[in-house]
Each structure stands twice: as structure tokens, then as C-alpha cells.
């Protein structure tokens, strides 16, 4: 008879079974609502004082459930206190009676976890698979080890980019599958100051390094191109500095760029004659244009021709506009309202706008650069503070670049020419472009919805995801979410994600900086990470792989001497 068999009869030898490292057992739950885990009692003798297991837990942590042949990976979504006796709250031990408190804490009072099972790994399958069932009653629950996490997130390699570490697991890498990340549109969300720009820059550096796509970045706050300073005055390298070749900065505001010491490779100017009603339509929200006024834009363009905006703005020669007004095709009020709002297109107010046509066709330039695999950061300088400018330029360029992509893709399908390189367009304040009122008929809404039909996807960065059209949100493949505390925003981030309800608590409890919940297409299961520090180590990781890296390494070797 074995010891345990003897135990059944109350017969035993001297035995003091060592505690394994499990933290509890499954006592109930469901696939849709998550599992109920009863945490083990404390056990001072084995170094676990009463309550330690509970206090060491955190929402967002990983646990592994199960035995030898099948292992479930799950994420902790809630933690609570429970006891064997419902009267305990009414008859708690005297706080000074440490003996009783200790005994209670290791035999009557215990902790409970709500965990959401995500992946299943069994002996035959090499790769973890999504769960379709749940572990049986009383399965043991363990804290995930670094090995477990590595098994799920794989090794860092050419297309898997280290983006952070799980909670309390410094040194363990959570890797983003960049190929999958660029396959569908993605989003980075979070309140202001939570680290959206930093994590976006980290992701972009990964995409550029891995060359999984080319990037067109509408850099509203000058966060990506050249050096950025944080609130403590520390300086961080921009993408243009990390990748000496392969990234170009195009500026709308050469003067500010020069002041910042930013290296620029070109200046974008938009001619008034280039602007079409479709480019302006998206500004309806920003300008406060009514439907009637938007309709009038198209009419004006038809009647006045290419120079429609110039004519609307012309204070000296008002003949054409007066004529329209007299013919009463457009109401006087409408016309005046449009004129007033178009004031901001005057070249003396928006330095990047000029009369007529610009000297260079920057659309062509950018399209060609992208097709060579060169990433473009469009730096807005001071115009980043003017939402209308940002929306106008992003819309203007994206419409034209997208059209060229569609053309090129169609030609490639007809065996003329090659496939365009996958393109990721990064936009900030995305809800201004993807607002439910306009997302139906704007270029960004289209791109989000058509998936990667034309090899173009979005990377949207936003602090107010609730302002984004539902249908668009549900198309977002990978969501990287820093802290959000507005209910509507939290709800929006989870739209279209099955079983997301359980993760809400996780999201609402993130640290205010440098923590993110990542879920979706590019990760095998939702994960809470402390995002990777954006520092010298990251710079080195990037340099290692780019063309310049070998030279760099050789030079370094020459300086350092033999290893």
C-alpha cells in the first residue's frame, strides 16, 4: 500500500508531504464566464504566511492549469476573498490574537481567483491552441513560469518583436508577431500620457527592422521622426536616428524642424488647386459643416473648377462667386459659412498651403519612396496643434497614396508589375477620422474595412476609442491598450472580442504608465505587459539587424579589440 492509500484508512507512517508549487484548484466556472479558482491556504511552514498567495496575485497575471498531458493557460481577471464559513465576517478573530488569526488564515479564510482560460497545450501539439473546453474540477492551478510564457509567446526572431514582459516577470519576453500585426489594422489606445506614443514607436521600430511592412506615419506631435524629450528632459531617439537609411522625414513645417535639430528629407506643400471636396469633406466635423454645406462643396468644385478654393478665398475678384450667389444655386448663408471656414486654407495662415500647384509632386515622391521600402515620417511641426491641418493632410495624402496602391495592386493582379509593398499608415487622434458619422465614406473607414485587400492597413493611435465607429473597431486585428478609465472607451476596445467581459477589470487596473493589455491577431493570447523600455538596449537591438549593423559591429569590434 502506498502512503496515500494508507491515508484513506487513517493509517500512516511518519510523513510530511512536501508542498508543490500550486496555488489553488479549480472549483467551478465555465468557458464563457471564466473559471473559479480557490486559492490554497497559507502555510507558514513552507514559507507561505496566511494571505501571501492572495496578496501576491494580480489581475493580468498568467496561471497554468492542469496536469501532465494537458495544460491550460489562463489570465487572472479578478481576485476576491472567501471563507468556509459565511459567518466569518460577523465573527472575525480578535486582531491581537495572532494565533487564531493565523489559524483562520490558513484554514477557513482563503482567496479566490476568476481566471479566463485562453490556450490549451497538450502533448501531441507543439503549438498552443485556443481553448474549446475547460479543465476538470479540482485541477491544480500554478503560477506560470518563464518557460510557460516562452512556450506561448515563442522566441524573439526576425518577425517576432519583443514588446514587453508579463507582470512580475522581468526578463521574460512577450513577442509581437509582426507579420500578423501588419496583416490587419491595429490600434494603440490609452488615456493621455499612458505611453501610447512610446509603445507605438517601439512597434514601428520593430516593423521597420523586420521589414514586415513600410510605414507612412502622420506624426502629429513630432513623436516619431527625430529626438523626443520626455517630461524629465530625457531624450529618446526617433526612428530617423535609429535607422540611418530606410526612414525619411518629410516636414510640413521646415522652420520648426530646423529648430528642433531634426534632419528632414523633404518638405510637403499642398497647392490650393490640388484640394478636392473629398479632401475637405472629412473636416466637416472639425469645421462644423452641415450636410447642406458639404453638398455645396461638390457643387462649387463643379462650377468653379480646379481653382474653386482660390476663388472662394479671393477678396478682389469675386465675380465667379457673386454669379453663383445671384443664380441662387447656393444659399448665401451657406456660401458665406464655407468661405469663413476656408479662411484657414490661406497660405499665410497655413504655411504648407500655397497658391496654384506646388513645385514638386510629393504624393509621387512618397509613393515611390514607400515602394522602395523607405518609411516616411510626416512631421507636422506647429501644424500638429491644428486639428484641421492634421486631418486635411492625412486625408489628402492617404486618399492619393491609397488610390495608387489600388492601381498597383490591380495591375499586379493582371500580371503587369509587381505587388505593392504592404503599407501601414499610422494616424493619431484616429477618432477624428473614424467617427461613426463619417467612417462610412472616408478613406480611413474604407481601409479599415477592406482589410488588406490592397496591402494597406492602419495603425490607429487614440485616447478616445469610443469615438471610433463600431464597425471599424471590430475590424481592428491587434489592440494594444494602455490604461483607460472611461467605461465607454473600455467597452469600445473590447468590441468584437469574444469573452472580453472578463478582461475589463484587467484593463481598468493597469498602471498609469508603461503597462498595456495586448490582445488580438498578433499575440496568441491576451497579455498584460510592462512595455519594453525605450532605451539604448532597444536602439542596439534595432541596429543589429539593419544594413548598417554589420559595419557598425565591425567597427565596434575594431575599437573594442577581440572578444
Ligand X SMILES: Nc1ncnc2c1ncn2[C@@H]1O[C@H](COP(=O)(O)OP(=O)(O)OP(=O)(O)O)[C@@H](O)[C@H]1O
Contacts to Mg ion by CB under 5 A: 197
| Pairwise CA distance, residues 382 & 562, whole Å | 48
Q: Annotate each residue in 33-52 with x if it binds another protein (CB under 8 A) or - if it does not, as one string.
A: --------x--xx-------
- Count of positions on this chain that bind another protein (CB under 8 A): 25
Of the candidates 116, 38, 29, the residue with the CA atom closest to the CA atom of residue 506:
116
User: Which secondary structure element, helix H or strand E, spans residue 266, and what is its range?
Assistant: strand 266-267
Interacting residues with ligand X (CB under 6 A) = 190, 192-198, 230-231, 463, 513-514, 531-534
Nearer to another protein, 91 or 558 (CB): 91
Segment 82-101, which members bind another protein (CB under 8 A)? 84-85, 87-88, 91, 93, 97, 99-100
In the complex, what is the shortest distance from the CB of residue 534 to ligand X, in angstroms, rounded to a whole number?
4
What lies within 8 Å, CB to CB, of 124 at 6+ separation is none
Nearer to Mg ion, 197 or 267 (CB): 197
Q: What is the DSSP string of 53-87?
A: HHHT--TT-EEEEE-SSEEEEEEEEEEEEEES-TT
Nearer to Mg ion, 189 or 494 (CB): 189
| Pairwise CA distance, residues 184 & 196, whole Å | 19
**Is residue 235 within 8 Å of 241, Cβ to Cβ?**
no
Q: What are phi and psi of 29, to 5 degrees?
A: 120, -175
Assess 6 for contact with another protein (CB under 8 A).
yes
In the complex, what is the shortest distance from the CB of residue 435 to another protein, in angstroms, rounded to a whole number?
57
Assess 9 for contact with another protein (CB under 8 A).
yes
Assess 13 for contact with another protein (CB under 8 A).
yes
In the complex, what is the shortest distance from the CB of residue 267 to Mg ion, in angstroms, rounded to a whole number?
24
| Pairwise CA distance, residues 117 & 78, whole Å | 13
Tell me how far CA of residue 75 lies from CA of 277, 296, 511, in angstroms: 49, 54, 17
Q: Annotate each residue in 97-136 with x if it binds another protein (CB under 8 A) or - if it does not, as one string.
A: x-xx-xxx-xxx----------------------------
SS (HEC) of 433-472: HHCCCCHHHCHHHHHHHCCCCCCEEEEEEECCHHHCCHHH
Of the candidates 223, 201, 199, 231, the residue with the CA atom closest to the CA atom of residue 381:
223
Work out the burial of residue 68: count CB atoms within 10 Å of its CB; fewer than 13 is exposed, 13-18 middle, 19 or more buried.
Answer: exposed
Q: Which does 45 bind (CB under 5 to 8 A by kind): another protein, Mg ion, ligand X, none?
A: another protein
In the complex, what is the shortest distance from the CB of residue 221 to Mg ion, in angstroms, rounded to a whole number?
6
Nearer to Mg ion, 309 or 389 (CB): 389
Q: Which does 158 bind (CB under 5 to 8 A by kind): another protein, ligand X, Mg ion, none?
A: none
Of the candidates 131, 105, 106, 129, the residue with the CA atom closest to the CA atom of residue 117:
131
In the complex, what is the shortest distance from the CB of residue 529 to ligand X, in angstroms, rounded to a whole number?
10
In the complex, what is the shortest distance from the CB of residue 162 to ligand X, in angstroms, rounded to a whole number?
12
In 316-361, which residue ranges form alpha helices assigned H by DSSP?
319-327, 332-342
| Pairwise CA distance, residues 138 & 24, whole Å | 9
Q: Can you point out the beta strands (E) in 17-61?
A: 22-30, 34-39
Nearer to Mg ion, 166 or 190 (CB): 190
| Pairwise CA distance, residues 287 & 133, whole Å | 52
Q: Which residue is nearest to Mg ion (CB)?
A: 197
For strand 140-143 and strand 22-30, is the pairing parallel, antiparallel, or unpaired? antiparallel
Nearer to ligand X, 242 or 289 (CB): 242
In the complex, what is the shortest distance from the CB of residue 41 to another protein, in angstroms, rounded to a whole number?
8
Nearer to another protein, 44 or 319 (CB): 44
| Pairwise CA distance, residues 486 & 405, whole Å | 37
In the complex, what is the shortest distance from the CB of residue 235 to ligand X, in angstroms, rounded to a whole number?
11
In the complex, what is the shortest distance from the CB of residue 14 to another protein, in angstroms, rounded to a whole number?
6
Q: Which does 230 bind (CB under 5 to 8 A by kind): ligand X, another protein, Mg ion, none?
A: ligand X
Nearer to another protein, 112 or 521 (CB): 112
Q: Which does 531 bind (CB under 5 to 8 A by kind): ligand X, another protein, Mg ion, none?
A: ligand X
Nearer to ligand X, 202 or 334 (CB): 202
Q: What is the DSSP string of 393-432?
A: HHHHHHHHHHHHHHHHHHHHHTTSSPPPPPEEEEEESTHH
In the complex, what is the shortest distance from the CB of residue 52 to another protein, in angstroms, rounded to a whole number?
15
Q: Which does 514 bind (CB under 5 to 8 A by kind): Mg ion, another protein, ligand X, none?
A: ligand X
In the complex, what is the shortest distance from the CB of residue 80 to another protein, in angstroms, rounded to a whole number?
19
**345 three-state secondary structure:** helix
Residues that bind another protein (CB under 8 A): 6, 9-14, 41, 44-45, 84-85, 87-88, 91, 93, 97, 99-100, 102-104, 106-108
Amino acid at each position: 500500500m502506498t502512503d496515500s492509500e494508507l491515508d484513506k484508512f487513517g493509517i500512516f507512517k511518519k510523513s510530511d508531504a512536501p508542498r508543490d508549487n500550486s496555488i489553488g484548484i479549480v472549483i467551478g466556472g465555465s468557458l464563457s464566464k471564466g473559471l473559479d479558482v480557490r486559492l490554497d491556504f497559507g502555510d507558514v511552514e513552507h514559507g507561505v504566511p496566511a494571505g501571501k498567495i492572495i496578496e501576491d496575485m494580480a489581475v493580468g497575471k498568467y496561471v497554468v492549469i492542469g496536469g501532465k498531458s494537458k495544460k491550460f493557460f489562463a489570465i487572472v481577471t479578478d481576485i476576491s476573498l472567501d471563507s468556509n464559513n459565511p459567518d466569518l465576517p460577523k465573527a472575525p478573530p480578535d486582531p491581537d490574537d495572532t494565533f487564531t488569526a493565523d489559524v483562520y488564515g490558513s484554514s477557513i479564510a482563503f482567496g479566490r481567483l476568476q481566471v479566463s482560460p485562453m490556450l490549451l497545450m497538450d502533448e501531441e501539439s507543439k503549438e498552443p491552441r485556443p481553448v474549446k473546453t475547460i479543465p476538470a474540477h479540482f485541477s491544480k492551478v500554478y503560477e506560470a513560469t518563464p518557460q510557460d510564457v516562452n512556450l506561448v509567446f515563442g522566441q524573439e526572431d526576425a518577425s517576432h518583436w519583443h514588446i514587453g514582459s508579463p507582470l512580475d516577470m522581468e526578463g521574460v519576453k512577450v513577442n509581437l508577431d509582426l507579420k500578423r500585426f501588419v496583416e490587419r489594422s491595429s490600434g494603440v489606445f490609452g488615456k493621455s500620457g499612458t505611453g501610447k506614443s512610446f509603445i507605438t514607436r517601439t512597434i514601428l521600430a520593430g516593423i521597420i527592422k523586420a521589414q514586415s511592412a513600410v510605414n507612412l506615419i502622420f506624426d502629429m506631435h513630432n513623436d516619431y521622426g527625430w529626438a523626443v524629450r520626455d517630461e524629465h528632459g530625457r531624450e529618446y531617439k526617433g526612428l530617423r536616428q535609429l535607422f540611418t537609411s530606410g526612414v525619411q522625414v518629410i516636414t510640413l513645417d521646415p522652420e520648426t524642424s530646423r529648430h528642433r535639430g531634426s534632419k528632414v528629407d523633404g518638405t510637403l506643400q499642398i497647392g490650393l488647386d490640388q484640394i478636392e471636396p473629398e479632401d475637405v469633406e472629412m473636416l466637416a466635423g472639425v469645421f462644423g459643416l452641415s450636410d447642406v454645406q458639404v453638398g455645396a462643396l461638390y457643387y462649387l468644385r463643379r462650377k468653379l473648377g480646379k481653382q474653386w478654393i482660390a476663388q472662394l478665398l479671393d477678396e478682389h475678384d469675386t465675380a465667379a462667386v457673386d454669379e453663383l450667389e445671384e443664380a441662387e444655386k447656393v444659399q448665401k448663408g451657406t456660401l458665406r459659412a464655407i468661405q469663413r471656414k476656408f479662411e484657414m486654407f490661406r497660405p499665410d495662415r497655413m504655411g504648407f498651403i500655397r497658391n496654384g500647384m506646388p513645385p514638386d509632386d510629393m504624393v509621387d515622391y512618397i509613393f515611390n519612396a514607400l515602394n522602395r521600402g523607405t518609411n516616411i515620417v510626416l512631421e507636422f511641426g506647429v501644424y500638429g496643434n491644428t486639428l484641421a491641418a492634421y486631418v486635411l493632410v492625412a486625408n489628402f495624402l492617404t486618399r492619393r497614396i491609397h488610390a495608387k496602391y489600388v492601381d498597383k495592386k490591380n495591375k499586379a493582379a493582371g500580371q503587369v508589375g509587381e505587388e505593392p509593398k504592404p503599407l501601414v499608415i499610422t494616424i493619431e487622434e484616429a477618432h477624428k477620422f473614424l467617427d461613426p458619422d463619417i467612417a462610412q465614406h472616408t478613406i480611413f473607414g474604407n481601409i479599415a474595412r477592406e482589410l488588406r485587400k490592397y496591402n494597406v492597413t492602419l495603425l490607429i493611435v487614440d485616447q478616445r476609442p469610443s469615438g471610433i465607429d463600431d464597425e471599424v473597431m471590430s475590424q481592428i486585428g491587434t489592440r494594444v491598450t494602455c490604461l483607460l478609465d472611461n467605461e465607454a472607451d473600455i467597452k469600445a476596445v473590447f468590441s468584437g472580442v469574444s469573452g472580453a467581459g472578463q478582461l475589463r477589470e484587467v484593463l481598468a487596473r493597469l498602471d498609469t504608465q508603461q503597462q498595456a493589455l495586448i490582445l488580438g491577431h498578433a499575440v496568441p493570447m491576451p497579455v498584460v505587459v510592462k512595455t519594453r523600455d525605450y532605451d539604448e538596449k532597444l536602439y542596439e537591438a534595432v541596429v543589429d539587424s539593419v544594413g548598417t549593423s554589420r559595419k557598425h559591429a565591425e567597427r565596434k569590434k575594431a575599437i573594442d579589440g577581440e572578444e
